[in-house]
């Protein structure tokens, strides 16, 4: 696969949080295979060091809790001490322990990891990356749940909606910063079979993509200059995602009830709109 973004040049340095499993691990493997020097960060434990050894003999592993800014400062210093530079930052660490609206359990931890981890990671790494005056990337892992916000896990939705908004602001800032050659990108995975999404399953559901497929999709979209990297999966093509996203925005434009896709007065209308506009889907 041809990937022509200059940040992927052999010898450049990639730092990936949440790099010991799932999409982060798949990305780290792919970056190492392209000749990049790789630093993966994850919670301390044997899994982190095993993952680094599997990725590359030269891969660096740093124990890091992204909810703690001091850990991210330590990560940035360690990567620069080892490699002298950082060309690619992938803020990928995330959790989904489940949240309920009126139950405070898990809310703070979910927001601290999924949202503040991305914010602090970008704030810690971006100034040094900009100062290099070389092409670079900041890739933040969001979620479709942060865009269409389906019922069921409001804390996770809030965290990923925040990642979207923050990454949009980050890219705006970067493109308006003099001599900056860093760009930000929002990775929006589909249904991906990872430890985060497994929910006790040991076999990949037919509708899910693998983490490797997600990274394979991401790389050429970055090379093409996409900011919103909207990934399909085996069940949901891009066309259906577009209709769902447009319907969600239509709740505001048409003054419908919030989350009208799941409102009893609107679910049939939503389904009918898909049948008209996507006759080959579903």
Burial class (CB in 10 A: 0-12, 13-18, 19+), 34: middle
For the chain, domains (ranges, CATH) are 6-235 (3.40.50.720), 237-282 (no CATH)
Residues labelled catalytic? 156
For the chain, residues with pLDDT lower than 70 are 1-3, 197-200, 277-282
Residue 195: the pLDDT is 80
CA distances from 275 to 128, 147, 150, 250, 278 (A): 50, 22, 20, 17, 5
Distance between CA atoms of residues 52 and 218, nearest Å: 22
Q: Per residue in 132-173, pLDDT tens? A: 999 999 999 999 999 999 999 999 999 999 999 999 999 999
Provide the token pair at 28: 């780290």
Residue 1: the pLDDT is 46
Handedness of CA 162, 64, 199, 211 (dihedral sign): positive
Distance between CA atoms of residues 51 and 179, nearest Å: 36
90: left (phi over 0), alpha (psi -120 to 50) or beta: beta
Residue 204: the pLDDT is 86
Burial class (CB in 10 A: 0-12, 13-18, 19+), 193: buried
Residue 279: the pLDDT is 46
């Amino acid at each position: 696969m041809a990937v022509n973004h200059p940040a992927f040049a052999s010898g450049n340095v990639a730092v990936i949080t949440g790099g010991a499993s799932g999409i982060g691990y798949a990305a780290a493997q792919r970056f190492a295979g392209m000749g990049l020097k790789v630093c993966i960060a994850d919670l301390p434990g044997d899994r982190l060091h095993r993952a680094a050894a599997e990725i590359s003999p030269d891969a660096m592993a740093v124990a890091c809790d992204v909810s703690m800014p001091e850990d991210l400062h330590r990560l940035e210093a360690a990567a620069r001490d080892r490699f002298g530079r950082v060309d690619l930052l992938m803020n990928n660490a995330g959790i989904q322990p489940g949240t309920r609206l009126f139950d405070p359990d898990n809310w703070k931890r979910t927001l601290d990891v999924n949202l503040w981890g991305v914010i602090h990671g970008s704030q810690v790494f971006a100034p040094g990356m900009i100062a290099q005056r070389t092409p670079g990337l900041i890739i933040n892992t969001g979620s479709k749940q942060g865009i269409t916000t389906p019922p069921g896990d409001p804390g996770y939705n809030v965290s990923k909606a925040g990642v979207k908004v923050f990454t949009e602001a980050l890219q705006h800032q970067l493109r308006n910063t003099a001599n900056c050659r860093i760009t930000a990108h929002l990775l929006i995975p589909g249904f991906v079979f990872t430890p985060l999404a497994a929910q006790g399953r040991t076999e990949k559901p037919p509708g899910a993509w693998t983490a490797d497929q997600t990274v394979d999709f991401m790389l050429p979209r970055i090379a093409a200059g996409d900011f919103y990297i909207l990934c399909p999966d085996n069940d949901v093509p891009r066309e259906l995602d577009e209709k769902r996203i447009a319907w969600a925005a239509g709740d505001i434009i048409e003054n419908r009830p919030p989350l009208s896709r799941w409102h009893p007065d609107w679910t049939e209308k939503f389904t009918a709109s898909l049948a008209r506009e996507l006759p080959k889907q579903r």
